[in-house]
Amino acid sequence: MGSSVGQRAFQNARLQKRQKAEVLPLLQRALELHKKGLLSEARVTYRQLLQIAPNQFIALHMLGILESDAKNYQQAEILLSRAVAVDPRSAEAHMGLGVALNGLKRHDEARASYRRALALKPNYALALSNLGNANAALDLHLEALESYDRALALDGNLAEAYNGRSSALCRLRNYDEALASLNRALSIKPDYAAALANRAVALRELQRFDEAMADCNRAIALAPDDVNGWLWRANVLLQTQRIAEALSDCERALAIAPDSDQAHLVLGLCFAGLGRVDEALASFDRALDIRPDLQSAISSKIFTLDFAPDASVEQHQQARQVWWERIGAKIAAEVAAAPHDNSRDPDRRLVLGYVSSDFNAHSAAFIFKPVLQHHDRAQVEIVCYSCSSKADATTSEFQEIADRWRDASQWTDDRLAAQIRADRVDILIDLSGHTRGNRLGVFARKPAPIQVHGWGHGTGTGLPTIDYLFSDPVAIPAAVRNLFAETVVDLPCFVTLAPLPAGIARAQAPALSNGFVTFGVFNRISKISDEAAEVWSRILDRVPGSRLLIKDVALDDQLVRDKLLARFAACRLPAARVDLLGATLRSEHLASFNRIDIALDPFPQNGGVSTLEALQMGVPVVAKLGNSLPSRAAGAILTALGLPDWVADSDEAYVEIAVGRAARIGDLDRLRRELPAQINAAAAGNPVSYARAVDDAYRAMWKRYCSGGV
């Protein structure tokens, strides 16, 4: 027995001696290969070494780092977990394990690893920077900033910390400071592709699109296999209406990172911009499968459902309920809004707070600007909270209207909510709904006693913290109002429009001189559904010699033009009968209505501003009244302005109205002359009358609140 034990001990000693003799040369070779950048060869050599000595710490650690750098995070986690088991006192190994765990989206575990590294090595700047990355991934952006700042206090040349810091600052909407951080990172590492991509994000938010595009191009050239360069360039292209190019970049991004929630989101936005509604909704759903609380994907799905021909009011409101359950309710629970101490005097002058990212030359501004202009200022004070860095001549006009102007474009939701309370706003009005740039997170915090949504989206927000929704009896019928989170308040129409600018001339019906009828569509091409394209083709087939003029900024893109013409060709409408116009100045845009005899409103997503502009220019509009709210907008406008006989309830009726009216050119020309006065006589078309109705609605809300109601 003793002899057997002794024999095994002797054999083990010989084995260890042989292993030691083999390990050292292999380790030295692996490290040399690693240092020379021959990573594949280094990886093979580390693995050979580990077959001989499975617990060799340096091999486990260095191979784990290599796998992590190659984004093989699962393998890296296995190796680095073994490394820290061999040497639990290695701060570097704990830090490396944290990187792998963060890559696996196990961010809480990553934070624990980084903290172990820092417990062993308190002045470990890179571990602090990586702790910031894990905090940021958990949306703990203030904690992330603290980590980055501590890292930079230890190492002021740590470019990675400046880059991470910028991402947290962008999420906190502090784009100017984010830009400064990124400039510092790039001064240290001029070819830092990740920092270039992040700088493009900040520049895009600051409306500096050319600079953002240049940074994206450099990032892609430096790191073509990094998803972020392609993804953020797609964002810039999308925002500058180069949709087809953006779509191509999204496809490249997804080829690199098939599970990127952001890439699926932006792909969906591209599809939506091209009118490919089903594909857009599928992309948003894929993004939400990956990250169920991706707020922008939920809101984008809500907005895109407006274009879905079969979506019911119930489906629209259910989608809004998802936003509340996954986003809004959590905010409301965390904030636990304090009671409001606004004086409950029912007759005093009220403070109105308007929140929007569209206090600029945006179509939405043409709708709500006349309301703000014509409020009874003896009864209300106006505070505008501008949430976009875009500023132009229209912005200056809003600044003149407002009693108090707040540039909230770089404020967090918490800061904006606190300012609204400090301004003692009585009624806070959301002008965006689920459109781009919305601040619904602020409304979830309930910073004002009464909250209202109006004019920006018109189909409800789904937030129980928003008390009222402005609409009208046609846009939201009584039968479906029980489905809304808000109480619906009727105005003369759910929208109005500012009067035409001075100097815009109206012409006679162009058919009188052309000898043929021109139909026009001046809506976003994303609103041109296959059903609408088919119906319009039938109309032109019935009206000999007629033409179709389509105008939208997206039509400056040749690929978009070609695809749109191909869609009409599939409906048997030849390209020779379709004219396309792209972006113009607004004065030229309005003058273009003089080229059309009858406007054709799209469906299921109707026009809004475009419908009102056509009527103001004397051009009658054919509309189809649907079941969902987006498909009732044009019908509501036409009914409110005394033109219900231009509203159809079916495709067949739509065709008959268009064809029948086109046959009576004299009547069209007479109506063209009469429409401006008819619009001004209606409360929905007269800005002063409309604003008085809004003032009365606010006062009724306030009196109800003062008496103990909502």
Please provide the DSSP assignment of 90-122 as one string. Answer: -HHHHHHHHHHHHHTT-HHHHHHHHHHHHHH-T
CA distance 671 to 619: 8
> Which strand (E) or helix (H) includes residue 443?
helix 440-444
Q: What pLDDT shows up at residue 697?
A: 98
Q: What pLDDT shows up at residue 632?
A: 93
pLDDT of 115 higher than 50: yes
pLDDT of 19 higher than 60: no
Burial class (CB in 10 A: 0-12, 13-18, 19+), 702: buried
Burial class (CB in 10 A: 0-12, 13-18, 19+), 677: exposed
| Amino acid of residue 83 | A
For 53-84, the pLDDT digits (tens) are 899 899 899 999 999 988 899 999 999 999 99
In the structure, what pLDDT confidence band is assigned to residue 1 with cuts at 50, 70 and 90?
A: very low
CA distance 271 to 243: 9
Which pTM does this prediction carry? 0.85
For 580-617, the pLDDT digits (tens) are 999 999 899 999 999 999 999 999 989 999 999 999 99
> Which strand (E) or helix (H) includes residue 262?
helix 261-273
Mean pLDDT across 498-506: 88
pLDDT of 154 higher than 90: yes
- Cβ atoms < 10 Å from Cβ of 105: 13
Mean pLDDT across 163-181: 95
> Across 297-443, where does the E strand assignment appear?
350-356, 380-386, 404-407, 427-430
In the structure, what pLDDT confidence band is assigned to residue 338 with cuts at 50, 70 and 90?
A: confident
Q: CB of 298 within 8 A of CB of 334? A: no
For 607-648, the pLDDT digits (tens) are 999 999 999 999 999 999 998 888 999 999 999 999 999 999
Q: What pLDDT shows up at residue 4?
A: 56
For 257-284, the pLDDT digits (tens) are 999 999 999 999 999 988 899 999 999 9
- Cβ atoms < 10 Å from Cβ of 482: 8
> Which strand (E) or helix (H) includes residue 578?
strand 578-581
For 535-562, the pLDDT digits (tens) are 999 999 999 999 999 999 999 989 899 9
Q: What pLDDT shows up at residue 502?
A: 85
In the structure, what pLDDT confidence band is assigned to residue 696 with cuts at 50, 70 and 90?
A: very high
In the structure, what pLDDT confidence band is assigned to residue 49 with cuts at 50, 70 and 90?
A: confident
CA distance 625 to 632: 5
pLDDT of 309 higher than 90: no
In the structure, what pLDDT confidence band is assigned to residue 311 with cuts at 50, 70 and 90?
A: confident
| φ and ψ at residue 354, rounded to 5 degrees | -105, 125
Q: Which of 359-363, 490-494, 622-626 has the lowest mean pLDDT?
A: 359-363
Rounded (5°) CA angle 41-43-49: 105
pLDDT of 10 higher than 50: no
Q: CB of 79 within 8 A of CB of 63? A: yes
Q: What pLDDT shows up at residue 425?
A: 98
Q: CB of 604 within 8 A of CB of 308? A: yes
**DSSP labels, 295-335:** HHHHHHHHHHHTT-TT--HHHHHHHHHHHIIIIIHHHHHHH
For 199-242, the pLDDT digits (tens) are 999 999 999 999 999 999 999 999 999 999 999 999 999 999 89
| Amino acid of residue 692 | R
Q: CB of 494 within 8 A of CB of 694? A: no
- Output the six-digit token pair for 130: 């990586």
CA distance 623 to 131: 56
The alpha carbon of residue 669 and the mean position of all alpha carbons in its chain are separated, in whole angstroms, by 42
Q: Kindly give the pairing relationship between strand 578-581 and strand 518-521.
A: unpaired
For 649-690, the pLDDT digits (tens) are 999 999 999 999 999 999 999 999 999 999 999 999 999 999
Domains detected in the chain? 225-336 (1.25.40.10), 350-496+690-706 (3.40.50.11380), 511-683 (3.40.50.2000)
Cα first-last separation, the chain: 90
Mean pLDDT across 98-116: 95
